[in-house]
């Protein structure tokens, strides 16, 4: 922390910089993860037959009410 403070000019600037970089790192990882998950969901949707899709919808309707809460 001291070295970063020396390079940035103050401890406040060092903390701000460290937090900004960490947030960018975490948010970037979440974005990449979402893209991978979306691609997997899309691939599954393409592979489902109409019968399988209808069965999943019926199961969803049996498990959850119109308000989205479990029955």
Domain boundaries, the chain: 2-63
Task: Record the pTM.
Answer: 0.48
Long-range contacts of 29-36 (CB under 8 A, 24+ apart): none
Per-residue pLDDT of the chain (71 residues; tens, 9 = 90+): 777 777 777 888 888 888 888 888 888 877 778 888 999 999 999 899 999 999 999 999 999 998 989 99
1 contacts: CB under 8 Å, gap ≥ 6: 11, 14, 15
Residues counted in the chain? 71
Q: Report whether 29 contacts 35 (CB < 8 A).
A: no
């Amino acid at each position: 922390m001291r070295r970063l403070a020396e390079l940035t000019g103050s401890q406040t600037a060092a903390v701000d910089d460290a937090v900004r970089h960490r947030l960018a790192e975490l948010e970037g990882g979440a974005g990449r993860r979402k893209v991978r998950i979306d691609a997997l969901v899309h691939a599954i949707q393409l592979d489902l037959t109409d019968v399988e899709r209808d069965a999943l919808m019926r199961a969803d309707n049996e498990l959850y009410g119109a308000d989205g809460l479990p029955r």
